[in-house]
Structure 1
Amino acid sequence: MSLSWNEIKARAAEFVKEWEKETSEEAEAKTFWDDFFQVFGLNRRRVASFEVKVTKGYRQNGYIDLLWKGQLLVEHKSSGKDLDMAYQQAIDYFPGLKDYELPKYICVCNFQKFRLIDLDENTEVEFELKDLTNNVQHFAFIAGYIKRTYKDQDPINIDAAYRMGKFHDEMKNSGYIDHPLEVFLIRILFCLFAEDTSIFEKDSFRFLIENKTKEDGSDLGINLAQLFQVLNTPINQRLKTLDEEFSAFPYINGSLFSEALPIASFNRKMRDALLECTALDWSKISPAIFGSLFQSVKNPKERRNLGAHYTSEKNILKLINPLFIDELNEEFKRVKNNKNTLKEFHRKIASLRFLDPACGCGNFLVVSYRELRLLELNILKELHNSGQQITDINSISLVSLEQFYGIEIDEWPARISEVAMWMIDHQMNMLLSEEFGQYFIRLPLAKSAHIHIGNALRMNWDSLLDIDRTVDIHSQRANIIKIAEPAIQYGTVNLYTKEYHIIDKAPEREKSVLRFDFIMGNPPFSGARLMSKAQKDDIISVFKNVKGAGNLDYVCGWYLKAADYILDSNTKVAFVSTNSITQGEQVGILWNELFKYGIKIHFAHRTFRWNNEGRGIAAVHVVIIGFGCSEKDQKKLYIYEDIKGEPLQRTVSNINPYLIEGNDVFITRRNKPISEVPEMNFGNMPLDGGNLLFDDEEKDLFLKKEPNAKKFILPLISAKEYMNNVKRWCLWLVDAKPSEIRKMPEVMKRLKAVREFRLKSIAPSTRKYADTPSLFRDRNRPNSFILIPSTTSENRIYIPMGFFDKNYVANNSCHIIPNANLYHFGVLSSIMHMSWVKYTCGRLKSDIRYSKDLVYNNYPWPISPDEKRVNRIMKLAQNILNIRDLYPGSSLADLYNPLTMPPDLLKAHKELDKEVDLCYRPEPFLTESERIEFLFQLYVLYTKGSKKI
């Protein structure tokens, strides 16, 4: 198991201290590197050797200081020696190495300086020994992490989206709107792409606009309408008198230009906006631009409601690479040297079927098709590397658009995805043409991806495989076998035969059903509280009578729908989802159902920031989960030290629903703690419309008018005010007599307002409290209690909490633990408890949302801790409170901000952490993964017999 970065940095600091004065290469270099590998938790002897003999030139031998075959070559020099010479010496060893021994990294070092060269990424970093702690991430590969990088989109894609957005705005301002505008825009996009990619003659579309139309734009609409008609007319059916400027354009077909549109009325500004679009080189555009385009011209609210998410190719590759591209590339490497096996592999990839059941504008389908065609191109290079002339380039490409399927609820993005697939198909055909020296173009457009318009959660995904699958069979004899439920292979079979027999019973044979091989996508991100009624009904239709289904995000419907579809099959699935489905209550509800279908997680990206491209860039925190019904020995877990950065890859034996390495367990809500500890309660909800609450100024003004109310004014502790040392007050009338209340007119005014507020509520549960306007909804005010804010920043190392007595009222934005002591405070203030919180709490955006029933009641406390240990924890807990008192001018937000936390407070917490750890086991926890895995094992022990320990 890989060490945490905190542990690696701690070891690095010790390494620096140990070696800061060493200078001699011969004396200590080997020990230096042995210790260096230990910084990352790896025994050097397991992977690397010193003084590896290698032939440098004619009859010359050299000795590599340290070689980790296939990974790292180290050339080490004495202090002060030139690193450039050391690097050249390292390079000189390469001719004497076998291919599999060639390293990915070169490191040259002279004790005081390191220089690391990444040969794959062509990057270099140099730093001094004293700065090792801040540079350990560059050696992530030693710790078992693999850094995956994904190329960003070319900026021209974004520029194209902006220009088309501007053109759209000009068209819309002219009154050309709705469906005609959408179709018109798609056609313009295709024309721009076509003239730069040899579908049309180069610049022919721009030339038509510049030379065939007036500068004021008055006749541009008529000319474009005629062009669209020409593009939809076969060559042999066109008028013989057609102008040469139009007759030069090819026949496109594919329904793209078939619909008759109103003729647009252009002006100079609109014509200029269109010409500005023609100035770009559209051959460089990724077809995924269609998504960005659609995002730039649609209302953001509509995007969320319709699930239209547009993502960068970089992020799409994070999903499709581990889902199928990586494995197919590995298989290609294994079979490429055997032509017969390679031909079988070629036929295999041409038979694969892909489904995106929330395809939007087709981004995932586009990039997946491109990657499959690139793989096919590599196959074709191997199969036809003899230099023999290929007579028909069309016949050698087997991968087809027809292997790709999508479901989209809205017609507009569905049509965009079809055109995007035609675009990427043409780009790949041009690439194939360049490779084999033949021009290859598919016109007219005959084949296309199968994009189905409908609600993916309400339809049978198998039905998509019925699209356009009519087969004609000619035979002398035919047996027609009647069965109740035929497996879907073809939609219609036309049988031409002289003789036929209808057989009522099918012969015994292995059942074969056409299935999708890979299902992928980016379903809508709507959270449980943001879904429309129709979306909630969709979830209910999928989960039926599952308890708690109403608390699930919309994307969960796709997970269960996919699990049902792939049951007892080899189909693999991967979805992008908001990270909330791996946290808090949703984990137990969703995965309890998925496990019934035998689902296993094959790979996962932990939380990272998902940016959409376009004008209104939206960013959410997401995860990617790849799964199937089959088991895999090695599973990939991608971890983000920085959610905005690149992932580090780890190979693990199992990934559980919380996306950690460990057993498949999940927690669900429970009313009582699993351990023998005080119960936690909610704070008090005023339910008052603000009429029972005061800040300092409001309280003073109120008491001037109503001095008799002073004894009923109590400090109110809310989460935000507690963290920021802001005082609030409340009118607490639990012990007030009716006669006392009636004598206070200002109080009576406020109670009347409370009653009216509650009566106006649409919630029956609120209206019933109108009968008791003098009271909060809840009345939890124990003699003493620990207060825990319900929400806290994920950046804090610890959750700030504190003790209060009955003179304070806790607001409903906090949880309280009545009659708790310093031992309870100490354990809850520890890093052990915080590790549990991170993996079991829900989130409000990225902030932690503490839960009584999920987090506290399921937390596995130490089993029967030693009394001396308990006393020690209590003493350390009190020390934390004492240190906090030393900073009266600082709020808890100041004290617990990682950038401003006082060193003595941090040290006190660290001492407490060690003591709490020892309550769990005598061996120290080296990583957070160790902690959470231990806690989950203990949780299983606590709950195995539903008996408290």
Structure 2
Amino acid sequence: MTILEFIAKWKQADLKERSAAQEHFLDLCRCFGHPTPAETDPTGESFCFEKGAAKHGGGEGFADVWKRGFFGWEYKGRHKDLAAAYDQLLRYRSALENPPLLLVCDLDRIVIHTNFTGTVEATHDLSLESMAEPRNIEILRAVFHNPEALRPGRTSTAVTQDAARQFADLAAAMRGRGLDPAAVAHFLDRIVFCLFAEDTGLLPKMVFSRIVETSAGDPERFGKLLGQLFDTMATGGDFGLEPIRHFNGNLFDDRTVLDLAAADVKRIAAAASLDWSAVDPSIFGTLFERGLDPAKRSQLGAHFTSKEDIELVIDAVVLAPLRREWAETKAIIECLLTTGRKKAAARAPAKPLSAAALRKARGEAGSILHGFLDGLNRVKILDPACGSGNFLYVALLRLKDLEKEAILYGSAHGLGAFLPMCGPWQLYGLEINPYAHDLAQMTVWIGWLQWIRVNGFGFPAEPILRPLS
């Protein structure tokens, strides 16, 4: 089930709390690729419906859904008092082993309260209509798979800064042993991408982390296994018993594994513990360039241009004309669907379109929408001094968001199903610094892969990476 199918189904549902709650939860499991309670835990010891719990202050009660170490979840009927439902969960939480998340839901809203020890509570209030938004998809995925990602104070900026600092120290240590700085940077680029690919499911079953664990700090063994993984990622195939997708994209053209010390493997192991799916591509390139380029290491803690500042430029230069075109396209489509004409007549028709006329109007409107989407797919964006790719990434993000808006509009108006086609191949950049050039490509690809993931559009076609111009 996709998130759009979930929203459509539950907009129409008019069921009582008891009959709706479990089906609603099972649908969410299907949306976010999570096994149901019975599939995960047939005994109900760690994941179940109707978890019996003693209330703080006396009495017995039930949490509608409970998963040990993840959440307690309380359902109420539509428009019921969710604050009271939350109070009820607070009374249960000790008996529920103090899960990190407490959720209440009335089928129209899901409200997520963080419950991490020693932190200020954060609340995420998601309406049914907003659940397809990228950030809300990310939040719900974290509920099922990684509650730690919702810990207050742990932002994508903080994760990216931590990751950049760790790799800056690793690069400095390797250069200090006389290794070529450019070779060090390219080698670490490959490791960074592996960590991202692992945490976003592009690599299977924590394969990189298992290499770190299996090598047990032995640099020679780690290097041998890592080289085998690089070889397989370059072409696709089997890595032991695990199938590996075809990545390529010139990142793995050079599969050399540099000589590592035990301290290097230890640093890589520490970096692997971070949530690489949460890195912020809008600052990723800048921060990693400062760490990997020895000429810029002194800038590591310096100010960087925020995503919000970049968006101001991109919206004015790139998005403004495209948004004007989209507004005009929507006006034509809406006129067609209500009058059967592209332009409104002097006097509106007295009655709605017949079924045949509406079918004809939808067919023509679908063609117009297809033309707009095809135009977006042919947009080319050039940054003549692209640095480490931050502006190109934000431009791609805004282009993809507009494309998604148009696709959802078409779906809502019965104009057919359209696939997102915009991608990094529409971006061009000029840059003389080789460190920045390599990072610009990785920034753009990581950003694009993140967008696909958080917007629920599955995995990209192979090869996953392609060289950029």
TM-score by length of 1: 0.28
CA deviation string 1:574-630 (max 9, x = no partner): xxxxxxxxxxxxxxxxxxxxxxxxxxxxxxxxxxxxxxxxxxxxxxxxxxxxxxxxx
The structure with the larger Rg is 1
1:287 to 2:281 alignment = yes
Q: Where does residue 23 of structure 2 map in the other structure? A: none
Q: Where does residue 207 of structure 2 map in the other structure? A: 204
Q: Where does residue 159 of structure 2 map in the other structure? A: 156
Q: Where does residue 427 of structure 2 map in the other structure? A: 404
Contact 1:426 1:442 in 2 (8 A): no
In structure 2, which of residues 249, 255, 261 is the aligned counterpart of residue 254 of structure 1?
Answer: 249
Amino acid in structure 2 at the alignment position of 1:346:
L
Structure 1 pair 345/389, CA: closer, same or farther in 2 (3 Å)? Answer: closer
1:187 to 2:152 alignment = no
Q: Where does residue 274 of structure 1 map in the other structure? A: 268
Contact 1:200 1:250 in 2 (8 A): yes
Q: Where does residue 365 of structure 1 map in the other structure? A: 392
Residue 430 of structure 2 aligns to a residue in which SS?
A: strand
Partner Cα separation in structure 2 for residue 389 and residue 202 of structure 1:
36
Contact 1:359 1:408 in 2 (8 A): yes
Partner Cα separation in structure 2 for residue 277 and residue 446 of structure 1:
23
Structure 1 pair 221/256, CA: closer, same or farther in 2 (3 Å)? Answer: same
1:348 to 2:375 alignment = yes
Contact 1:199 1:441 in 2 (8 A): no
Partner Cα separation in structure 2 for residue 222 and residue 441 of structure 1:
29
Contact 1:421 1:448 in 2 (8 A): no
Residue 219 of structure 1 aligns to a residue in which SS?
A: helix
Amino acid in structure 2 at the alignment position of 1:243:
G
Q: Where does residue 454 of structure 2 map in the other structure? A: 431
Contact 1:220 1:266 in 2 (8 A): no
Partner Cα separation in structure 2 for residue 274 and residue 302 of structure 1:
19
Structure 1 pair 265/163, CA: closer, same or farther in 2 (3 Å)? Answer: closer
Partner Cα separation in structure 1 for residue 156 and residue 199 of structure 2:
19
Q: Where does residue 442 of structure 1 map in the other structure? A: 461
Q: Where does residue 221 of structure 1 map in the other structure? A: 223
In structure 1, which of residues 322, 325, 329 is the aligned counterpart of residue 323 of structure 2?
Answer: 329
Amino acid in structure 2 at the alignment position of 1:199:
L
Where does structure 2 lack aligned partners over 5 or more consecutive residues? Answer: 1-154, 334-364
Q: Where does residue 375 of structure 1 map in the other structure? A: 402
Contact 1:182 1:412 in 2 (8 A): yes
Structure 1 pair 270/301, CA: closer, same or farther in 2 (3 Å)? Answer: closer
Partner Cα separation in structure 1 for residue 211 and residue 255 of structure 2:
21
Structure 1 pair 250/335, CA: closer, same or farther in 2 (3 Å)? Answer: same
Residue 227 of structure 1 aligns to a residue in which SS?
A: helix
Where does structure 1 lack aligned partners over 5 or more consecutive residues? Answer: 1-151, 451-949
Structure 1 pair 320/387, CA: closer, same or farther in 2 (3 Å)? Answer: same
How far residue 326 of structure 1 moved from its aligned partner, in angstroms, is 3.8
Q: Where does residue 436 of structure 2 map in the other structure? A: 413
Contact 2:445 2:465 in 1 (8 A): no
CA RMSD of aligned residues (A): 2.9
Aligned ranges for residues 54-203 of structure 1 at < 5 Å?
A: 154-203=157-206
Amino acid in structure 1 at the alignment position of 2:291:
S
Larger relative contact order, structure 1 or 2 (CA cutoff 8 Å, min sep 6): 2
In structure 1, which of residues 422, 430, 439 is the aligned counterpart of residue 445 of structure 2?
Answer: 422
Q: Where does residue 647 of structure 1 map in the other structure? A: none
How far residue 369 of structure 1 moved from its aligned partner, in angstroms, is 0.6
Partner Cα separation in structure 2 for residue 413 and residue 198 of structure 1:
26
Partner Cα separation in structure 2 for residue 217 and residue 382 of structure 1:
53
How far residue 386 of structure 1 moved from its aligned partner, in angstroms, is 6.1
Identity %: 26
Structure 1 pair 399/301, CA: closer, same or farther in 2 (3 Å)? Answer: closer
How far residue 224 of structure 1 moved from its aligned partner, in angstroms, is 1.3
Partner Cα separation in structure 1 for residue 188 and residue 168 of structure 2:
10
Partner Cα separation in structure 2 for residue 198 and residue 167 of structure 1:
25
How far residue 388 of structure 1 moved from its aligned partner, in angstroms, is 9.6
How far residue 423 of structure 1 moved from its aligned partner, in angstroms, is 1.3
Contact 2:187 2:257 in 1 (8 A): no
Partner Cα separation in structure 1 for residue 427 and residue 165 of structure 2:
29
Amino acid in structure 2 at the alignment position of 1:366:
Y
Structure 1 pair 153/210, CA: closer, same or farther in 2 (3 Å)? Answer: closer
Partner Cα separation in structure 2 for residue 180 and residue 275 of structure 1:
20
Q: Where does residue 316 of structure 1 map in the other structure? A: 310
TM-score by length of 2: 0.54
Amino acid in structure 1 at the alignment position of 2:193:
F
Contact 1:354 1:403 in 2 (8 A): yes
Residue 248 of structure 1 aligns to a residue in which SS?
A: strand
How many equivalent pairs are there? 279
Contact 2:250 2:466 in 1 (8 A): no
CA deviation string 1:898-937 (max 9, x = no partner): xxxxxxxxxxxxxxxxxxxxxxxxxxxxxxxxxxxxxxxx
Indicate the structure with greater strand content: 1
Partner Cα separation in structure 2 for residue 330 and residue 157 of structure 1:
35
Residue 429 of structure 2 aligns to a residue in which SS?
A: strand
Q: Where does residue 243 of structure 1 map in the other structure? A: 240
Indicate the structure with greater helix content: 2
How far residue 409 of structure 1 moved from its aligned partner, in angstroms, is 0.9
Structure 1 pair 164/365, CA: closer, same or farther in 2 (3 Å)? Answer: same
Partner Cα separation in structure 2 for residue 287 and residue 372 of structure 1:
15
Partner Cα separation in structure 1 for residue 211 and residue 180 of structure 2:
24
Contact 2:233 2:246 in 1 (8 A): yes
